[in-house]
Structure 1
């Protein structure tokens, strides 16, 4: 399958004329003959949502076929359609309409990811882990991932950077205790500051805007609490601290701004991998 076509999504696979449907061999396949997709990037399925879909299937049937690939005679493996498959079982069906499609392992993962992204209900951590799997298992660059799923390179890079956060923070994000916006604020911080900020976000039920103020205060405290001897570069004043925060959020990494007595100063931008550096440079060059 040509990766360039994947950004258009599943419609390119499933929508067509009646003749095309026949050519693609849409058929009723027994549910017990379909194995789950071992590359399914989604790990959580809401029980309430599945129950609603099951009720719809009882009343109207399965409106869109699942996509499978053949393993052996009368044995198949799911490519996309996990929710429809699960809901069909809940609805008491024994068969489901399916399209039999030739598919490599690489495309199987990509198609499963695209299906979930297009439904816009996959969690940010699951999405980031799926992107990371595409990079580690298949050697794809962020550019290739972005083109395959119809996203910008910046969106893919921002998602993958969430995986640098500690498990406790990722767990809070998955559980819905914080949002992706909260999590992004924590990426540039030192580990101890990340946990302090997380505690404040959750215990005080802060909005993202309120959380930005907490991060600002924590970073000011970090600047003022160091015991190093004074140097020619003075600690950032409140205006520069605000600028640091804006730059950190824009670039997705820790940025330090220091001024000197003669009106000059220095801006330090941290990065932790060559790909992150490329992303930072791209974002800087794109600014008007």
Structure 2
């Protein structure tokens, strides 16, 4: 890459996440039957002048799905143009930014030229678009999705709020997905292989022995609710203080995400304590200075006006 991760972060949003999303959306949108790919593309390029991105983060392509796409392309042509940039390593050639799966299927269909959208992206933006395109795949599993969010945040400095707005996801959804990356590698592999759902995996995040419990969940075919009970372990009598601490440690991912959302909204630490077995509980606003206490009073006062 021409830029390291530090320069990428310093670069911030660069061309802009929304702008990059718009380009990916243009190349991925389904065109109406009356439209042609050429009308939406910048130009048509000989397929031998188009090369894949050597830094493409997606390494696995489902051959069966590519064959299905190839059959469709053979019958109807390539309806959706792919995004390319001038190849920095070969003059007169182009490098794929988004659409490698369609390029592979078009080769299989023996097309001689492809409709393209040409963008003058730098190396960092090429990687960013490739990650965004991967996140929007229909066959994406939860771990791949979480890894994509993590890459966009660590490599390019995007926040969960920015990703949520640009990708049309809730912030809690992105937070919940990224928590899956806290699990041991073997449990993440179970999710990638479809042996565990994201719900099962989230239930195991706070368990002391997630790998062992994951194998038991798979062996017994447990539901998500049963997995949550298994992860909590046997209940023991504890003091009221101990019970509060236990409930805090066992908060489910959605509750923790809601705490995070509320904290971000009011600018203060928010704690939610749900009374087990009931529909009641408490919401606590924590302040560390008298100024923050004034903010809380102001928020509550505005709520009554």
Instruction: Give the TM-score normalised by structure 2.
Output: 0.66
Q: Does 1:233 align with 2:259?
A: no
Q: Does 1:5 align with 2:13?
A: no
- Maintained 8 Å contact 1:41/1:126: no
Give the Cα–Cα distance (whole angstroms) in 1 for the partners of residues 274 and 162 of structure 2.
37
Pick the aligned partner of 2:256 from 251, 254, 260.
251
Give the Cα–Cα distance (whole angstroms) in 1 for the partners of residues 257 and 16 of structure 2.
32
Deviations 1:225-275, CA, capped at 9 Å, x for gaps: 9xxxx7673558xxx97x97664543259x99799xxxxx999xxxxxxxx
User: Judging changes above 3 Å, is the alpha-carbon distance between structure 1 residues 248 and 179 closer, same or farther for their aligned structure 2 residues?
Assistant: closer
Report how far residue 11 of structure 1 moved: 3.9
What corresponds to 1:181 in structure 2?
199
- Maintained 8 Å contact 2:203/2:231: no
- Maintained 8 Å contact 2:203/2:252: no
Q: Does 1:134 align with 2:152?
A: yes
Pick the aligned partner of 1:87 from 95, 98, 105.
105
Unmatched 5+ stretches in structure 1 = 260-264, 268-288
Q: Does 1:52 align with 2:60?
A: no
Instruction: Give the TM-score normalised by structure 1.
Output: 0.69
Q: Does 1:35 align with 2:35?
A: no
Question: Aligned residues, how many?
Answer: 245
Give the Cα–Cα distance (whole angstroms) in 2 for the partners of residues 173 and 93 of structure 1.
37
User: Judging changes above 3 Å, is the alpha-carbon distance between structure 1 residues 257 and 195 closer, same or farther for their aligned structure 2 residues?
Assistant: farther
Deviations 1:5-61, CA, capped at 9 Å, x for gaps: 345563446889x9xx67963212324x33323453433322211111111112222
Give the Cα–Cα distance (whole angstroms) in 1 for the partners of residues 215 and 28 of structure 2.
46
User: Judging changes above 3 Å, is the alpha-carbon distance between structure 1 residues 92 and 84 closer, same or farther for their aligned structure 2 residues?
Assistant: same
User: Judging changes above 3 Å, is the alpha-carbon distance between structure 1 residues 14 and 25 closer, same or farther for their aligned structure 2 residues?
Assistant: farther
User: Judging changes above 3 Å, is the alpha-carbon distance between structure 1 residues 106 and 157 closer, same or farther for their aligned structure 2 residues?
Assistant: farther
Give the Cα–Cα distance (whole angstroms) in 1 for the partners of residues 82 and 105 of structure 2.
12
User: Judging changes above 3 Å, is the alpha-carbon distance between structure 1 residues 147 and 172 closer, same or farther for their aligned structure 2 residues?
Assistant: same
- Maintained 8 Å contact 2:175/2:257: no
Give the Cα–Cα distance (whole angstroms) in 1 for the partners of residues 115 and 26 of structure 2.
18
